[in-house]
Structure 1
Amino acid sequence: MSQKVYFTNSPAIAIDRYITDSGSPKTFILTDENTAEHVLPVILSESRQLRDAEVITVKAGDVNKNIDSLSYIWNRLQNGGATRKSLLINLGGGMITDMGGFAGATFKRGINFVNMPTTLLSAVDAAVGGKTGINFNGLKNEVGAFKEADAVIISTVFFKTLPVEELKSGYAEMLKHGLIDGKDTYRRLINHNVESADWDNLLDILEESVNVKRRIVTEDPLEHGIRRALNLGHTIGHAFESHAMKHNSPIPHGYAVAWGCVTELTLSCLSLGFPSEELHRFATYIYDTYGPYTFTCDDYPELIELMHHDKKNTSSEINFTLLKDVGKIEIDCTCNEDDIKSALDIFRDLMHV
């Protein structure tokens, strides 16, 4: 993997060094309205290299990760005189790193970009690995490209003022990494109370989680094989997310992944013998931390239809990443609709819905 990832609690110093070393003649900063208010002023006050950067601000929220916002970014880059040697800094959560990465990958057929994630979720998931994209026609990340950021600067100092909901959303992806990595990593995470996290002192555990993803992406950058392990919880999780969006009740991505992991571990238990006691332990942790996602059996056809739209499918069948046990991955598993409905039934029981 050529991507450089810096773990530091001095992000302004890190970005200044990167810009100095890269020699980019012009720098743009992409951010959203929330980050522009709460984070950007701090970075600008501490950075010498960013004082003359042109700031592009878009509306906050995943609903704005769309073609209209992307077009606005392209226009701002074009009108600002961006060239292929310019640098785009994506300062924000997953929405910004996803969309900014896609803008960087496509403008003038590719300009350099750096991700500076300001949420735990984007640090552990969206900012690293090279997946970029936007939502389209109500479907998550329907249009995008594989393009790694030239560098990622990860700092827990950005997390100090995050609402606990944002911390829990990111922690769900860390739990997923623990499930696919092995029992030692998983146990450390599931025995930890994310709501009492002191992120100043937890840069090491974050680095451990990010490096799980980095190892897998290095082995399979374009998702032809083992990288699909990172999709654990996402086939059903994305369906929950799209279902909630369609019904005008958006849910945080990490919450959807947490609930998706419970359901897909249920499928793992039904089809691969994943230990039922571990399923119940994990489901209890998720219920206590995230609460339930509420739906009825009347929603099953819509949820299954949304699963059919998942990008991981290569035929009419729905593709899952499942586990025989913690750390024992089975990619490219297909399940029939009856099994999926049974897993949804069990999920509702586990979540007391």
Structure 2
Amino acid sequence: MSQILVFNNEVAAAVEAIVDEAKPNGLFIITDTNVRREVLPSLAEQSPAVARACVIECEPGDEAKNLRTLSEIWSRLVAGGCSRSSLIINLGGGVVTDMGGFAAATFKRGVKFINIPTTLLAAVDASVGGKTGINFEGLKNEIGVFREAVAVIISTCFFGSLPREELLSGYAEMLKHGLLDSEEAVDMLLDFPIENCDEPKELLQLLKKSVAVKQRVVEADPHEHGLRKALNLGHTMAHAMEGLALKTGSHLAHGYAVARGLVADLVLSHMKHGFPSERLHSVAAFVKSRYGAPEFTCDDYDTLIQLMRHDKKNIDPETINFTLLAAPGDIRLDSTATPQEITAALDITRDLLGC
């Protein structure tokens, strides 16, 4: 059964309706320290269900998405008497929805959960589609399961206080969806004033269109046997960049890695499938002006390629698999590239982005 997507800036009312229908025998909220401080109090004032829930708090940031934190969540669920008839609310960004969803999916072989994303990145990507998991041994999302939330409440009311980096991180995933969709969708995204948007309803409608692209793909291929690989556009490169950042102890927001990964994949798309040069340059110019130049150098190429070999979508360790495009909306699944082609694409990407 497909998850219910609720696009509504009246979040408390949406929570009450879902909880009233589910009638759980226990209610738990998984969140992080920042969201508990900045979002949870006002939501609890408006929602009796939220106010009475048992709150499980974890540290913010991707570094916390690990086995230790997961074990702590399980322990708190045990202590709180969570059963298979309980309901878990994951309130937060992508780390919370990824890890909270995995905790719910594996506790007692599955507890129902809903996601309330509080960042644009989580709203457009992590909270939707049923992918859950944690990082392991320095690799992104290495351990996880497919398990959809009962519902996802998507709202723009939490985005007003997000820093620029958080907004742009989410917008990179929206740009990915636009590239998978059509020329018109890409133009709309390149022209939208995401950094100066003061119309939550306008952003909510754009977000709804973006999520619909992902939802169509997920419904056609829920467990990533075919078409869902399209959502990997930009991500083989991006996950390698994130892995490199983890190894070196540097900070790299997921969406910034995705934005740069999209440019690298469009370069490969131009090399292998004739993706239009003009569109490549328009996307690269947008990424350069918002996300800046990548931090890696040519000395990091071997490490990046080794990290790409660990991508879960590879057919075998010797073949690096990409989703590429012949044009916006013209998807080429299971495209492969040699280390030499990847090196050339990384060189061109660094040139386009101002290194």
TM tier, shorter chain?
over 0.9
Structure 1 residues 77-92: aligned runs within 5 Å: 77-92=77-92
User: Is 2:347 aligned against 1:348?
Assistant: no
Counterpart code for 1:293: P
Counterpart code for 1:211: A
Structure 1 residues 246-325: aligned runs within 5 Å: 246-315=247-316, 316-325=318-327
Structure-1 separation of matches of 2:200 and 2:191? 19
Structure 1 residues 217-236: aligned runs within 5 Å: 217-236=218-237
Structure-2 separation of matches of 1:269 and 1:193? 28
Structure-1 separation of matches of 2:11 and 2:114? 12
Structure 1 residues 139-218: aligned runs within 5 Å: 139-201=139-201, 202-218=203-219
Q: Size of the alignment, in residue pairs? A: 353
**Matching residue of 1:49:** 49
Task: Kindly state the Cα deviation for residue 72 of structure 1 after the two structures are TM-superposed.
Answer: 0.3
Task: Kindly state the Cα deviation for residue 193 of structure 1 after the two structures are TM-superposed.
Answer: 2.5
1:71-113: CA deviations, max 9, x gaps?
A: 0000000111000000000000000000000001000000000
- Are 1:241 and 1:256, in contact at CA under 8 Å, matched by a contact in 2? yes
- Are 1:26 and 1:82, in contact at CA under 8 Å, matched by a contact in 2? yes
User: Is 2:100 aligned against 1:105?
Assistant: no
Task: Kindly state the Cα deviation for residue 51 of structure 1 after the two structures are TM-superposed.
Answer: 1.8
**Matching residue of 1:66:** 66
Structure-1 separation of matches of 2:298 and 2:206? 39
Percent of aligned pairs with the same amino acid: 54
1:159-189: CA deviations, max 9, x gaps?
A: 1111111000000000000000111111100
Structure-1 separation of matches of 2:213 and 2:113? 23
1:119/1:263 Cα in 2 relative to 1: closer, same or farther (>3 Å)?
Answer: same
**Matching residue of 1:120:** 120
**Matching residue of 1:335:** 337
Secondary structure of the structure 1 residue equivalent to 2:343: helix
- Are 1:157 and 1:199, in contact at CA under 8 Å, matched by a contact in 2? no
Task: Kindly state the Cα deviation for residue 123 of structure 1 after the two structures are TM-superposed.
Answer: 0.2
Structure 1 stretch 309-318 or stretch 172-181: which is displaced more?
A: 309-318
Task: Kindly state the Cα deviation for residue 245 of structure 1 after the two structures are TM-superposed.
Answer: 1.6
Task: Kindly state the Cα deviation for residue 199 of structure 1 after the two structures are TM-superposed.
Answer: 4.9
1:53/1:232 Cα in 2 relative to 1: closer, same or farther (>3 Å)?
Answer: same
Structure-2 separation of matches of 1:52 and 1:11? 16
Task: Kindly state the Cα deviation for residue 8 of structure 1 after the two structures are TM-superposed.
Answer: 0.2
TM-score by length of 2: 0.98
Secondary structure of the structure 1 residue equivalent to 2:29: strand
- Are 1:97 and 1:115, in contact at CA under 8 Å, matched by a contact in 2? yes
- Are 1:239 and 1:303, in contact at CA under 8 Å, matched by a contact in 2? yes
**Matching residue of 2:93:** 93
Structure-2 separation of matches of 1:231 and 1:295? 21
- Are 1:160 and 1:199, in contact at CA under 8 Å, matched by a contact in 2? no
Structure-2 separation of matches of 1:245 and 1:294? 13
- Are 1:156 and 1:199, in contact at CA under 8 Å, matched by a contact in 2? no
Structure-1 separation of matches of 2:51 and 2:266? 48
Cα RMSD (Å) of the superposition? 0.8
Gaps of 5+ in 2: none
Structure-1 separation of matches of 2:294 and 2:118? 26
Q: Which aligned runs of 4 or more in structure 1 are off by greater than 6 angstroms?
A: none
Counterpart code for 1:115: N
- Are 1:159 and 1:199, in contact at CA under 8 Å, matched by a contact in 2? no
1:199/1:24 Cα in 2 relative to 1: closer, same or farther (>3 Å)?
Answer: farther
TM-score by length of 1: 0.99
Gaps of 5+ in 1: none
